[in-house]
Amino acid sequence: MLSVSNVAKSFGGLHVLHDVNFTADSASITALIGPNGAGKSTLVNIIGGVLKPDAGRVHLDGEDVTGVPSATAFAKGITRTFQISGNVGSLNVFESVAVAAYRQARGYRQANALARAELERFELWEYRDQQLGSIPTALTRLVDFARAMVSRPKVLLLDEVMAGLTPHEVDLVIRQVGTCREQGVAIVMIEHVMQAVEALADHVVVLNQGQVIASGSLGDVSRNAEVVEAYLGTPPSERDEVRVPADTPAKGQQ
Ligand SMILES: Nc1ncnc2c1ncn2[C@@H]1O[C@H](COP(=O)(O)OP(=O)(O)O)[C@@H](O)[C@H]1O
Ligand SMILES: [Mg+2]
């Protein structure tokens, strides 16, 4: 289980996170939602070891992993994707996934076999020889996701992996995230595509101005006045993107 307690972070004078607490269980999907600038990516960067918090702790299965470097976090099973896919140098699609398979593989043959299986699952096998820089952005996101999955993480951090994908690709990723949950992974998913949140989230945590303002089922948080206010307070241009469904029944009430 992943637990985040009392996490705070500032950039210069800008207080981005204040006293953030939540837990994410194994074999469950926690959706982290909130308006742009709420601090979601910063929080995920702290969990993934990309940033150190100013205060608070992150624990994985009881072990304190606060502020460990991202390579250490990865070695311990915390894997992430980036909202903006990083430049992975001159690797092709196959190589970039095979490299990540080493976390759990015994040797390169097994890593290659795992990479192939993952690329086939993501319908990416035909792109295996292409350089990462030469494929469309949406495909880069899928490769990013395949790379995260192939490391068989304990915690998978997804930062807007559905953004810009076609409906077919969104369905594909939704299925893959579901499979990942079945494999026992604790998934923390920043997502604006509400179709994905509705389909997947066991638990929703709403962040606004660096604070958790609500958590619970999607139905519960959608009916929370502070959540509605936070979303309606965003400029109209951003409303569609972060739409909270008005009347989604809570799980178990359908
Ligand atoms: N490295 C940084 N330096 C300074 N300010 C930052 C940095 N990263 C994020 N911020 C600021 O922190 C706030 C939260 O950003 P972010 O975590 O990316 O929000 P979200 O992912 O919810 O949109 C924003 O105001 C953003 O401009
Ligand atoms: Mg973000």
DSSP secondary structure of 72-134? HHHHTTEEE--SSPPP-TT-BHHHHHHHHHTTT-SSHHHHHHHHHHHHHHTT-GGGTTSBGGG
Long-range contacts of 213-221 (CB under 8 A, 24+ apart): 213/34, 215/22, 216/250, 217/250, 217/251, 218/31, 218/245, 218/248, 218/250, 218/251, 219/248, 219/249, 219/250, 219/251, 219/253, 220/250, 221/33
Q: How many A from CA of 10 to the centre of ligand 1?
A: 9
Atom of ligand 1 nearest to the CA of 36: 23
pLDDT band at 254 (very low <50, low <70, confident <90, very high): very low
pLDDT at position 41: 95
pLDDT band at 148 (very low <50, low <70, confident <90, very high): confident
Average confidence (pLDDT) over 132-142 = 82
Q: Does ligand 1 have an atom closer than 6 angstroms to the CB of 37?
A: yes
Q: Does ligand 1 have an atom closer than 6 angstroms to the CB of 36?
A: yes
Least Cα distance to 207 among 220, 221, 196 occurs for: 221
Q: What is the mean pLDDT of the chain?
A: 86
Please write the tens of the pLDDT for every residue from 51-100: 999 999 999 999 999 999 988 998 899 998 755 445 556 789 999 899 88
- Identify the residue whose C-alpha is closest to ligand 1 atom 25: 37
Please write the tens of the pLDDT for every residue from 201-232: 999 999 999 999 999 999 999 888 888 888 76
Average confidence (pLDDT) over 193-199 = 90
Q: Quick check: helix, strand or coil at residue 23? A: strand
DSSP 8-state assignment for residue 165: -
From 9, 11, 46, give the residue whose CB has the most ligand 1 atoms within 8 Å, as the site to mutate: 11
Please write the tens of the pLDDT for every residue from 150-164: 888 999 999 888 888
Average confidence (pLDDT) over 123-149 = 87
Q: Does ligand 1 have an atom closer than 6 angstroms to the CB of 13?
A: no
Please give the backbone phi and psi of residue 102, each rounded to the nearest 5 degrees, phi first. -60, -20
Q: Quick check: helix, strand or coil at residue 251? A: coil
Give the pairing of strands 28-33 and 186-190.
Answer: parallel
pLDDT at position 237: 52
pLDDT at position 244: 54
pLDDT at position 245: 52
Above 80 in pLDDT, residue 236?
no
From 7, 14, 16, 52, give the residue whose CB has the most ligand 1 atoms within 8 Å, as the site to mutate: 16
Above 90 in pLDDT, residue 169?
no
Q: CB within 8 A of 100, min separation 6: which ones?
A: 79, 115, 147, 148, 150, 151
pLDDT at position 234: 52
From 10, 14, 206, 209, give the residue whose CB has the most ligand 1 atoms within 8 Å, as the site to mutate: 14
Q: Does ligand 1 have an atom closer than 6 angstroms to the CB of 225?
A: no
Q: Looking at the chain, which residues constitute the CATH 3.40.50.300 domain(s)?
A: 1-77+153-164+177-248
> Domain 1-77+153-164+177-248 - what CATH class?
alpha beta
pLDDT at position 232: 67
Most confident of 81-85, 186-190, 249-253: 186-190
